[in-house]
Structure 1
């Protein structure tokens, strides 16, 4: 399967929301309790895209297979060289290197923005996501116990990180 990575467009949002919805309603991959409205999803998309990459993967027929994006880890000035990442892939594309292609493109774009560190917050019980992030070079740096409650039980979260650029002595400002 050929996968093309490109910048997400507003026209993609209904399909992206349909990719996200099963993660909300049937999994612990996200702590969202209800599927966001298209209006809310669009507002979040526009806010993220003002500063960071928001990418989609599509097949030869133009069907969207997944998406990923980066967003500010923390609003304080000293954190500007670090971002949090998010990724969702349709079930039918799992295990076909779509996530790897998305993250590779995301990291390349983040490097051009002078980003140094990328973080991922993952539900500890989501072993496949943890394994995926490990394959991408992330390391576990934190384990928060009982940090979320969904589907009738408490869930732990794992924080993972990856340094994608050399640590500069005097970092350049980020390019937004």
Structure 2
């Protein structure tokens, strides 16, 4: 008998019921890295509220792998990552700008999931009239542990450019970290 694996990747809008899977992706970033400056991982309930709040105005996307090896549940899926947009600044003049965030499940990096998520997020943002995307990224200093510059490199590959550095602005795991802002123009700026 032939044993094979069928895999399909799908990007879709996040749902409140995805909260446990998304929290499970995010939690190791909080507990083991300085990629996020949160000290405590949000609960599943808190994560559900974050998803719901974001979806009121902005896109929140997940990428999932569906597939089945012979003899397993053909309807099973696994969420591999997520991304979303949110308020850049709370003034009306900034309504064409957003802050973006992305997290890919540890062990799944380098497979194109982040690029696919951001491509779809950018398409969705452009369809909503968003012109500027900003990413706030933790940035290592010499000797930093629990953080490297892979997020900056990832964003650079996707067309983001560095626009500013905040020095020694975050303290986690007994170390000071920098934070950088990167931007990407999604559309033409017209009067």
Choose which of 113, 130, 142 in structure 2 pairs with 1:115. Answer: 130
Choose which of 41, 46, 62 in structure 2 pairs with 1:40. Answer: 46
Following superposition, the deviation at residue 92 of structure 1 comes to 2.2
TM-score normalized by the length of structure 1 = 0.93
Whichever structure has more helix as a proportion of its residues is 1
Residue of structure 2 equivalent to 1:155: 177
* Distance in 1, Cα, partners of 2:78 & 2:44: 19
1:139 aligns with 2:161: yes
Describe the SS at the equivalent of 1:103: helix
* Distance in 1, Cα, partners of 2:190 & 2:31: 42
Q: Deviations over 1:56-111 (max 9, x none)?
A: 00112311000000001011011111000000001221000000000000000000
Stretches of structure 1 that go unaligned for 5 or more consecutive residues are: 170-176
Following superposition, the deviation at residue 143 of structure 1 comes to 0.5
1:128 aligns with 2:143: no
* Distance in 2, Cα, partners of 1:40 & 1:13: 9
Whichever structure has more strand as a proportion of its residues is 2
Following superposition, the deviation at residue 2 of structure 1 comes to 4.0
Residue of structure 1 equivalent to 2:9: 3
Stretches of structure 2 that go unaligned for 5 or more consecutive residues are: 1-6, 68-76, 141-147
Following superposition, the deviation at residue 145 of structure 1 comes to 0.1
- 2:13 and 2:61 in contact (8 A); partners too: yes
TM-score normalized by the length of structure 2 = 0.86
* Distance in 1, Cα, partners of 2:92 & 2:101: 22
Q: Deviations over 1:118-148 (max 9, x none)?
A: 0001111231100100011000000000111
